[in-house]
Amino acid sequence: MRDPKRVMAATVLVFEALVVVFASLVAKDLSGLSTLQAVGGGAVLALVLVLSSGLVGRPGGYWWGSLLQVVVVATGIWVPTMVGVGLLFTGLWVAAVVIGTRIDRERAAL
């Protein structure tokens, strides 16, 4: 059986990567960034998020995922709406880790 904490955390990172890609397309028009900076930066961040979903469950994987939440919120420097989006995903990240940990404990108790 798969580790629910790991599955939920990795899912949050992958969906967050999709949102970052779409947000980078918006950022090219709403920010002072060039198209290359906005779309390229968004693509790099999205790629890091997807690759990091594979690190979840390994030593330091959850800390790395938490750091990426800070990075996504920080993109609000260029697109202020990303602060809200980043905080939303930070909440999902925390929920995935907390609820996943609780499920792991309950399974272990059985």
pLDDT of 109 over the 90 cut = no
Angle at 30 between CA 29 and CA 36, to 5 degrees: 50
Per-residue model confidence (pLDDT) at position 68:
96
Based on the structure, what is the number of domains in the chain? 1
pLDDT score of 11 more than 70? yes
Half-sphere exposure of 12 (CA within 13 A, CB side): 27
**What is the span of the domain harbouring residue 28?**
4-109
What tens digit of pLDDT does each residue of 74-98 get?
A: 999 988 989 999 999 999 999 999 9
Q: Report the distance separating Cα 5 and Cα 56, nearest Å.
A: 9
- In angstroms, rounded to a whole number, what is the distance separating the alpha carbons of residues 107 and 104? 5
* pTM for the structure as a whole: 0.91
Angle at which helices 4-30 and 35-53 pack, to 10 degrees?
180
More confident residue, 66 or 79: 66
Classify the phi-psi angles of 2: left when phi > 0, otherwise alpha if psi is within -120 to 50, otherwise beta: beta
Is residue 2 over pLDDT 90?
Answer: no
Q: What is the pLDDT of residue 28?
A: 86
What is the pLDDT, as a whole number, of residue 1?
60
